[in-house]
Amino acid sequence: MASRRWRAVAALAGVGDSVYTAIPLLVIGPLAQPIEVAASALVAYTAGGMLSNVLVWGRLGDLIDRPRILALIGTVAQGVLLLVLAVATSGWSIVPLCAVIGVVAVSMDGAVARLVAGDLPGRERSAAFLVYSSMIERGLLIGFAGAAFVLPLLALSLSGDLALRVVITLYALAVLAQAPLIATGPVPGRIPRVTVGRVAASGIHLSGAGAARPFHQALRFVRGPRPGAGPRPLPDELRLFFVTQVVLHAGYALYGSILAIYLREEAGLNMALVMSLFAAGGITTNLALLRTGRWLVTVPAVQILAASASARVVLFLGFAIIALAPTAGWSLTALLPLYLLTQAVWGLILASGVAHVAELAPARGKARTMSSYGAASSTGVIIGTMAAGAIAGSFGFVALFASASAVVLVGLVLLMRW
């Protein structure tokens, strides 16, 4: 029973995290702000999550050592902030609000994960993190699919802009529903065994949020140690790989960070179709994660990673070609298989990236290595999202998708060189 309770908490957290996709739609829709503001809001959300890794999940969590209290505070705060987001009327006020939401969301995820797994033995602790992460991803799918189902019903009596605000309110209520489960739930004693596929799937959250710790480590592997500070914290091979990941994830963010805006404004899809597309993409990503977990037994992770990056170079060019003639009728027909294939490749990237880092990690530095990998990926996402708003706002989506393909190609060349 306890295990089911914490799985429900994780799924509800994933539903709340679905708001990341609604943010740009809120900014360009009800708030009538340009693409640059939407990109800034997403940058603030991601940067807030990275700050949380340093101050809350990394340091404050160790200092206070009360994960249940931190989880309850974070849950209530995140729910209230999402309610504020749902009724926001000022475009630029969204940017600092999203930064705070990012801080609180990642802190809450980390606190709950620590609460569930903190007192378990080593292997069971790892399994607990994996189960928790996989349930968060299922919650994301529930959030996308739920929005796709609810939006058309709301549209029968409400305007599209008001319907989106109602969906964000429902996300907030899902987050607040975690509070009684967290407050009364006993900590589970044992965690069920997880499959190889789920171990690979853990990369989604373990690399980006829950397991990532101090951000200053991301700077240390680039600049090297200070004189007299002892040996470098990570091997040179890992540091070069992380720099490559910054480039690759910047390219991925150029494509994906404001994709919802392109689908809504340029391809002509309504919000329900956008959410349906994201839900379908999440399913293909998870299926690819399961398959990659089996491939990793026999195929080197770096080969899968290189092949996936190569595929995305071509797929992003496909989006650029579609954007040349944004006719809603044939755009959806062409976008659906292209997007699903792109998301399947994303599953390969998530699994193989984490697996390759695990292979290279020093025996006594695995947690530090994963935190640095998460910081490198998030740094690339921030850079790519900032550039996406500027490029799409000034030159359009054709240039945006072509730029994403070019940046990923540069990252692929770097990956192949080392």
What gap in Å lies between CA 91 and CA 234, rounded to an integer? 42
Give CATH 1.20.1250.20 domain extents, the chain.
1-190, 195-418
* Model pLDDT for residues 382-418, shown as the tens digit of each residue: 999 999 999 999 999 999 999 999 999 999 999 987 6
Query: How many CB atoms neighbour CB 361 within 10 A?
Result: 19
11-48: pLDDT as tens digits: 888 888 888 888 998 888 888 888 889 999 999 988 88
Contact present, 52 and 394 (Cβ < 8 Å): no
Instruction: Give φ, ψ of 307 to 5 degrees.
Output: -65, -40
Residue 305: per-residue pLDDT: 92
65: left (phi > 0), else alpha (psi -120 to 50), else beta? left
| Burial environment of residue 193 by CB neighbours within 10 A (0 to 12, 13 to 18, 19 or more) | exposed
**Residue ranges of the alpha helices (H) in 224-327?**
236-256, 259-261, 271-295, 301-324
- Compute CA 190 distance to the chain's CA centroid, rounded to the nearest angstrom: 28
DSSP letters, 95-127, are HHHHHHHHHHHHHHHHHHHHHHHTTS-HHHHHH
Query: Inter-axis angle of helices 19-28 and 2-17, to 10 degrees?
Result: 20
Rounded to an integer, the average pLDDT of 147-153 is 80
Q: pLDDT tens digit string along 216-258?
A: 333 333 334 444 444 455 677 788 888 999 999 999 999 999 9
Q: Which fold has domain 1-190?
A: Growth Hormone; Chain: A; (1.20.1250)
DSSP symbol at 53: I
Concatenating the DSSP letter of every residue in 320-376 gives: HHHHHS--HHHHHHHHHHHHHHHHHHHHHHHHHHHHHHHHHS-TT-HHHHHHHHHHH
What is the rounded distance in angstroms from the CA atom of residue 396 to the CA atom of residue 323? 9
Enter the pTM of the model. 0.76
Q: CATH for 195-418?
A: 1.20.1250.20
- Tens of pLDDT, residues 338-384: 999 999 999 899 888 877 887 777 766 665 677 678 778 888 999 99
Please enumerate in sequence order all residues whose Cβ is within 8 A of that of 378, keeping only pairs 6 or more positions apart, or say none.
46, 49, 50, 208, 212, 249
- Pick the closest to residue 27 from 107, 89, 76, 103 (CA basis): 89
